[in-house]
Amino acid sequence: MADLISSRSNKLDAVPPSYCIPLHERPVDPVPIAKDIPIVDLGKAKGEERSVVVQQLLKACEEYGFFQVINHGVAEDLMDEAVEVYKDFFSLPVEEKAHYAKEAANNTARGAATLYSSSAKHYDSEDHRYWRDVLEHSCNHDGEDKLNWPDNPPRYREVIGTYSDELRKLSKIILGLVSEGLGLETGYFDKELGQRMLVNHYPACPNPTLTLGIGGHCDVNLITIIQQEVYGLQILNDEKWIGVEPLPHAFVVNSGLPLMVISNGKLTSAAHRVVTNTTRARTSIGTFICPEDVVEPAKSLFGPDNPPLFKSFKWSAEFVPHYLSKKSVYHAALEPFKIDA
Ligand code: OGA
Ligand code: NI
């Protein structure tokens, strides 16, 4: 049974040594809540102000690699229900959760869920552990994956089925705006892209200065859409950590490393991390949109005066294994895929 932190944290009054992260990584300095991470009103993208929205979103991806969206079209009730479903899931008895734990999940069926407690960096080192549990599964568009999703809480498949469909639509709207802002050919992202639910649960922690919910990293996928209620997410901007304010019923969106490549370096992918707190468990519902298999700078973004900065590579066969194995810091995961100037 994976050693889930959600199954033991309420019995702990000190952080076990295996969860104490190295000194240089500890979140000891105060971090301000950022007031200037752009908040994009997607409702306006339907009207005369569309070009303003496109420019705002693009600037956010250039300067921060992060923005929040409001008026995004996903019903607030559905967002609330999803939170309840995941809170119920993480409160299930240990024996019930064991069913989904990684060791038990030799289940390679499409959509099969895995539940794991994360350890250092990209999950598979035992050096030290982060203060989070993760439930992860795919959710592809034909609905077949759903047959292998958790069925406890009993409304899981119904609620998360609707949620993932709505989030797919939202991701298409966002990627359409990104594509327009970059000037890519029409329909650049209009493909069936991979979609995964990756839900993080960070229990309250007796000493947040010794731990991290998740260490600093850039995302391996194309874009990530996060629903958060409780503070904890911080991003690295101009070499300083800044906090992302939870706004009720907004989504936080960030660009992953493949979007840096596709945009030929125009857009950034910001490192981010999650801190814990002593009083409230934090559950963040992540929708991870994955790129097509081949990732390369978009052809319309380079030319004789503006050479491509990255080689073309296969995302699942080349990039993901490299990202996972090398434990590269932030943008360094892209090093082997750069074209030397
Ligand atoms: C992630 C991540 C942020 C959060 O899962 O990659 O960065 O707010 N999550 O939990
Ligand atoms: Ni992330």
Q: What is the CATH number of the domain that holds 213?
A: 2.60.120.330
CA of 10 from ligand 1 middle (Å) equals: 22
How high is the pLDDT of residue 123?
44
CA of 199 from ligand 1 middle (Å) equals: 8
CA of 217 from ligand 2 middle (Å) equals: 6
pLDDT tens readout for residues 158-185: 999 999 999 999 999 999 999 999 999 8
Domain assignment present for 300? yes
pLDDT tens readout for residues 196-235: 999 999 999 999 999 999 999 999 999 999 999 999 999 9
- Summary mean pLDDT of the chain: 91
pLDDT surpassing 70 at residue 107: no
Domain assignment present for 121? yes
- Give the structural domain span for 156: 5-10+38-337
Mean pLDDT in residue range 294-313: 96
**Per-residue 3-state assignment (H helix, E strand, C coil) for the chain:** CCCCHHHCHHHCCCCCHHHCCCHHHCCCCCCCECCCCCEEEHHHHHCCCHHHHHHHHHHHHHHCCEEEEECCCCCHHHHHHHHHHHHHHHCCCHHHHHCCEHHHCCCCCCCCCEEEEEEECCECEEEEEEEEEEEEEECCCCCHHHHHCCCCCCCHHHHHHHHHHHHHHHHHHHHHHHHHHHCCCCCCCCCCCCEEEEEEEECCCCCCCCCCCEEEECCCCCEEEEECCCCCEEEEECCEEEECCCCCCCEEEEECHHHHHHCCCCCCCCCEEECCCCCCCEEEEEEEECCCCEECCCHHHCECCECCCECCEEHHHHHHHHHHHHCCCHHHHHHHHECCC
CA of 299 from ligand 1 middle (Å) equals: 31
> How much is the pTM?
0.96
Query: Taking CB atoms and a 6 Å cutoff, what residues make up the pocket around ligand 1?
Result: 198, 200, 214, 219, 226, 228, 233, 272, 274, 284, 286
Domain assignment present for 33? no
Domain assignment present for 222? yes
Domain assignment present for 57? yes
Ligand 1: atom nearest CA of 282 is: 10
Q: In testing the pocket of ligand 1, which one of 214, 225, 229 has its CB within 8 Å of the most ligand atoms?
A: 214
Count of structural domains, the chain: 1
